[in-house]
Amino acid sequence: MTDPGQSPRPDEVRGLRVRPRGVQGTAPVTGAAGCQDGGVEVLSSRILLRPADLGRSQHFYRDVLGLAVYREFGPPSDPGVVFFLGSGFLEVSGHSAGAAGHCVKIWLQVRDVNAEHQRLAAAGARILREPAVEPWGLAEMWIEDPDGVQIALVEVPADHPLRRDPRSPPA
């Protein structure tokens, strides 16, 4: 460490001991926050939607799209709802102060995009694009929530690279 009054060396900033790149060793980096590679350590995540009409949007995500509820919070008269999104979450709470739906898009992987198309059309969802296989090999359809948020429903075919392990097989 440096003497008081001297500028710290770059590897001592904020009390962190950092090994230069390429240097092997098992000494831990102490006091470090975040991931080992210096990025942010994400413990959980969710998409936040602030709709124009809270009840209408919650109805859409719960009853039309059919997302399962993870939790509800806030006052009983105006609760926020957090829905499961596969390994993530969607929070629909509060109210939009401006135009909603044009900055956020949601991508949902489904097992059968054609079956979802039939179900959602019957439930009255606004279909923007019917299911089609895209040039990149995914079967996609697009719908829109009541505030104009676009939602892609995507089926990953069995032979698509997203379904294969990209690592080389063991020799």
- Alpha-carbon torsion 110, 111, 112, 115, what sign? negative
In this structure, the number of other CB atoms found within 10 A of the CB of residue 109 comes to 14
171 confidence band (pLDDT: 50, 70, 90): low
Per-residue model confidence (pLDDT) at position 168: 64
* Greater pLDDT, 41 or 110: 110
For the structural domain made of 47-162, what CATH number should be given? 3.10.180.10
Per-residue model confidence (pLDDT) at position 128: 97
The pTM for the full model equals 0.62
Rounded distance, CA 67 to CA 64, Å? Answer: 8
* pLDDT > 70: percent of the chain: 68
Domain layout of the chain by residue ranges:
47-162
pLDDT of 74 strictly over 60? yes
pLDDT of 33 strictly over 60? no
Q: CA dist 69 to 2, 33, 37, 65, 81, Å?
A: 54, 32, 34, 12, 7
